[in-house]
């Protein structure tokens, strides 16, 4: 069961809320849009709990049910077939926190020239008063539908027979109104254990320099020039925990990971003049949490470089499968284009596709940048940069920021007779085309960083790595390669623990069911106070470490304290103990220590550090807390039977009181025939 939860920002609350003792409604399975008449007006036993299939989960139906909230107690969406297109995101994503504000360029603000997500219906940003849950199509959903068919169907004109099958959903959210209110309420409790009502969203960015700097020396670095290669990690869906983001984010960061691996050899043999920073930003969907944090750190000397050190930026946006001959597009900012700083970068990129199956085309010069992390850097400083994407004008991802943006949408297909391990190794067409993109990106980065041109053609991305990453991120994350690159204490996060609390008729109970090894969650999650990131961040960190770092001979205890050794330094590198592969003839893993420049950088919106919860500058998204979330089905009896029971009870009580009184007053008479002489009578 995946609930829709409440999120708050500086001005609004979005998402769903149930009442504190749950919302009960008679189950009604919606068959078509016209069938909506029954729960909304015709049905005789409101409130109803509407069960609909994913193809009926549209904005018009949800809005109609939202307006009739007295008759509709809640909605349950069963994931079945995907509709032809569906995007619950807004039409202009991150409208107010990008670079296109009124002051920057009036014509480009608020998507005046290009509406980036025209299919967007904004459902994710609506507020619902009733709970909305999502169920997979499995045995428990069958039980619910069977209960409906057994008890709730109208039999040819005659009315419904009680008892009816009903469902109760609990998803009471503690936070209300907006972030400022809930943060104020969280801090009002003066006891030793403060009660938090909401949590800020956030996580960690993954950063790696090709030539690492001393991690304790913050601020400007003299004579250092860095090219930033960026991608975003997160995505979202209407039901936050169901986010997949295959085209939206996975394609981008997998390409960048492959490019990082491709650059490893060349940059070690012939290091380029400029440094390259691989930055994977988290929380970008929610008003650029990760990138705004990095810019804030750079401006306030809390990061190893600052904005003056940044030479240019190349961001990998959505890159979908290419059939041979299709193009990718280079987006740039029209305002900063006016002084021609981007042309070099464009030249480097376009020349990097020589010998590959696609070409890079520049978009129209008057078109603004699509929603991307580059916008936040541009907002702080006019840095030249390019965003690489598969769409020329608006986003052509039919399932942008929705649950259906998954492996199937990326045409990730495997032959049916392969085992999971064979599927891991199989190179799909998608992987092949992403490999070409990664090669082009790596070469362009090398050239942009001033590398030796003769080395460029040796830079090639590895299709096997790409296909393994795609498999792990989109199909099954508990595979042998991911297990090999992870640390031993983290290997369990590759199973997605779903806590499904379902009480069916108070006899079946399933708490913390270990589901099959699913892909990890792509939603950014809340920023935990302990130094714990979510599964996706750790995966990207360890993958990047394995792909760009070096294996060392250190033992496990040395790996924990490498400073004692003469050639190792934790200022420059981080040392990670990874599990390694299992050799064919044994059962023990060959674990080893990786020396890598990869670091996790905290990515929480600066608004929470500054205490400015109504900030228009930074992201203010928080997620409400709740006590428990559960769903259950049972039968409800008719009101008449309940009242009859009460009536009978009261009648019995009255009658017995009367009779007893009567017997007591007449007891002398009633029990007088056998009297023993020395007994006291009643």
Taking the C-alpha atoms of residue 473 and residue 483, their distance in angstroms, rounded to an integer, is 13
Q: In this structure, what token pair is assigned to residue 530?
A: 């302990």
Least Cβ distance, residue 153 to another protein (angstroms): 16
Shortest gap between Cβ of 154 and another protein (angstroms)? 19
CB 122 within 8 A of CB 59: yes
In whole angstroms, how close is the CB of 170 to another protein at the nearest point?
Answer: 12
CB of 162 to another protein, least distance (A): 8
245: CB partners within 8 A, 6+ apart? 234, 235, 236, 401, 405, 522
Our CB check for another protein shows the closer of 354 and 652 to be 652
DSSP bridge partners of 594: 551, 576
In terms of CB distance, is 355 or 505 closer to another protein?
A: 505
Contact 524, 285 (CB under 8 A): yes
Q: Which is nearer to another protein, 418 or 641 (CB)?
A: 641
Q: Smallest distance, Å, CB 655 to another protein?
A: 8
Per DSSP, which regions of 374-451 are E strands? 385-389
Shortest gap between Cβ of 679 and another protein (angstroms)?
4
The minimum distance between CB 142 and another protein, in angstroms, equals 14
Q: How far is the CB of 508 from another protein (least distance, A)?
A: 10
Give the nearest distance from C-beta 665 to another protein in angstroms.
9
Residue 327 or 645: the one with the smaller Cβ distance to another protein is 645
Tokens encoding 364: 């129209």
Cβ distance 285 to 234 under 8 Å? yes
- According to DSSP, the β-strands at 13-16 and 7-8 are antiparallel
Which residues sit opposite 633 in a β-bridge?
167, 504
Residue/partner pairs of 405-409 with CB below 8 Å, 24 or more apart:
405/235, 405/237, 405/244, 405/245, 405/246, 405/247, 405/248, 406/244, 406/246, 406/474, 407/246, 407/470, 407/474, 407/475, 408/82, 409/246, 409/247
Q: How many CA atoms lie within 13 A of 53 on its CB side?
A: 13
- Under the rule (CB under 8 A), what is the footprint of another protein? 24, 147, 163, 165-166, 168, 504-505, 507, 633-637, 641-650, 652-653, 655-657, 659-661, 664, 666, 668-676, 678-682
Complex with another protein: residue 192 or 679, whichever CB lies closer? 679
Strands annotated E in 317-376:
327-331, 359-362
Tokens at residue 37, please? 């008449």
Give whichever of 194 and 505 is closer to another protein, judged by the CB atom. Answer: 505
- Report the residue number, 143 or 346, with the smaller CB distance to another protein: 143
Paired tokens of 668: 């002398």
| Residues 170, 175, 181: CA angle, nearest 5 degrees | 165
Report, in Å, the least distance between residue 536 CB and another protein.
39
Per DSSP, the residues of 488-551 read GGGGGGGS-EE---EEETTTEEE-SEE---PPPP-S--B--SSS---HHHHHHHHHHHHHHSEE
* Smaller CB separation from another protein, 46 or 517: 46
Q: How far is the CB of 644 from another protein (least distance, A)?
A: 8
Question: Peptide bond before 186: cis, by omega within 30 degrees of 0?
Answer: no
Considering the complex, state which of residue 550 and residue 672 has its C-beta at the smaller distance from another protein: 672
Q: Are the beta carbons of 229 and 278 closer than 8 angstroms?
A: yes
Nearest to 403 by CA among 245, 232, 234: 245
Considering the complex, state which of residue 149 and residue 365 has its C-beta at the smaller distance from another protein: 149
Residue 532 vs 656, nearer CB to another protein:
656
């Amino acid at each position: 069961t995946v609930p829709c939860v409440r999120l708050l920002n500086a001005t609004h609350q979005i998402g769903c809320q149930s009442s504190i003792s749950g919302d009960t409604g008679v189950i009604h399975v919606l068959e078509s849009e016209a069938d909506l008449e029954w729960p909304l007006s015709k049905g005789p036993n409101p409130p109803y709990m509407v069960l609909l299939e994913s193809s009926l989960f549209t904005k018009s139906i949800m809005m109609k049910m939202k307006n009739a909230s007295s008759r509709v107690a809640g909605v349950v969406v069963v994931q079945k077939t995907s509709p032809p297109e569906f995007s619950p995101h807004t039409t202009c994503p991150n409208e107010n926190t990008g670079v296109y504000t009124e002051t920057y360029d009036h014509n480009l603000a608020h998507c005046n020239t290009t509406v980036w997500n025209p299919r967007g219906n904004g459902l994710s940003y609506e507020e619902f008063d009733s709970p909305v849950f999502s169920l997979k199509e499995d045995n428990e959903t069958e039980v619910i539908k069977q209960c409906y068919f057994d008890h709730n169907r109208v039999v040819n004109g005659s009315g419904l027979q009680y008892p009816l099958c009903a469902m109760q959903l609990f998803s009471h959210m503690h936070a209300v109104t907006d972030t400022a209110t809930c943060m104020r309420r969280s801090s009002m409790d003066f006891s030793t254990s403060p009660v938090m009502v909401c949590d800020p969203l956030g996580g960690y960015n993954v950063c790696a320099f090709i030539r690492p700097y001393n991690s304790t020396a913050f601020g400007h670095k003299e004579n250092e020039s860095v090219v930033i290669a960026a991608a975003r990690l997160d995505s979202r869906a209407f039901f936050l925990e169901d986010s997949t983001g295959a085209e939206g984010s996975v394609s981008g960061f997998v390409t960048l990971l492959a490019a990082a691996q491709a650059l490893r050899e060349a940059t070690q043999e012939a290091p380029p003049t400029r440094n390259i920073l691989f930055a994977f930003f988290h929380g970008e969907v929610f008003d650029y949490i990760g990138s705004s944090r990095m810019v804030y750190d750079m401006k306030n000397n809390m990061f190893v470089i600052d904005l003056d050190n940044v030479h240019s930026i190349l961001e990998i946006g959505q890159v979908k499968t290419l059939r041979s001959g299709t193009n990718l597009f280079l987006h740039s900012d029209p305002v900063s284009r006016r002084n021609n700083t981007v042309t070099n970068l464009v030249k480097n990129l376009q020349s990097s596709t020589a010998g590959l199956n696609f070409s890079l085309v520049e978009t129209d010069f008057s078109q603004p940048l699509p929603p991307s992390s580059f916008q936040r850097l541009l907002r702080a400083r006019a840095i030249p940069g390019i965003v690489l994407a598969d769409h020329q004008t608006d986003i052509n991802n039919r399932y942008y920021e929705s649950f259906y943006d998954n492996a199937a949408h990326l045409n990730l297909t495997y032959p049916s007779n392969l085992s999971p391990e064979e599927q891991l190794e199989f190179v799909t067409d998608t992987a092949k085309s992403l490999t070409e993109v990664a090669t082009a990106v790596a070469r362009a980065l090398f050239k942009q960083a001033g590398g030796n041109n003769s080395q460029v053609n040796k830079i090639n991305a590895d299709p096997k790595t790409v296909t393994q990453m795609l498999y792990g991120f989109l199909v099954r994350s508990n595979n042998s390669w991911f297990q090999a690159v992870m640390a031993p204490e983290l290997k369990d996060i590759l199973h997605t623990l779903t806590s499904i609390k379902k009480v069916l008729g108070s006899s079946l109970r399933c708490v913390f069911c270990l589901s099959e090894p699913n892909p990890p969650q792509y939603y950014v999650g809340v920023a935990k106070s302990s130094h714990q990131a979510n599964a996706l961040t750790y995966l990207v960190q360890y993958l990047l470490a394995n792909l760009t770092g070096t294996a060392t001979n250190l033992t496990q205890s040395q790996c924990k304290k490498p400073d004692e050794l003469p050639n190792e330094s934790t200022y420059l590198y981080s040392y990670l103990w990874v599990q390694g592969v299992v050799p064919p003839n044994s059962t023990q893993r060959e674990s080893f220590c990786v020396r890598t420049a990869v670091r996790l950088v905290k990515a929480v919106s600066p608004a929470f550090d500054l205490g400015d919860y109504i900030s228009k500058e930074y992201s203010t998204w928080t997620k409400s807390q709740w006590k428990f979330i559960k769903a259950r089905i049972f039968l409800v009896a008719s009101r008449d039977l309940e009242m009859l029971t009460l009536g009978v009870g009261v009648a019995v009580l009255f009658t017995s009181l009367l009779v007893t009184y009567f017997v007591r007053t007449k007891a002398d008479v009633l029990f007088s025939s056998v009297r023993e002489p020395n007994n006291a009578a009643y």
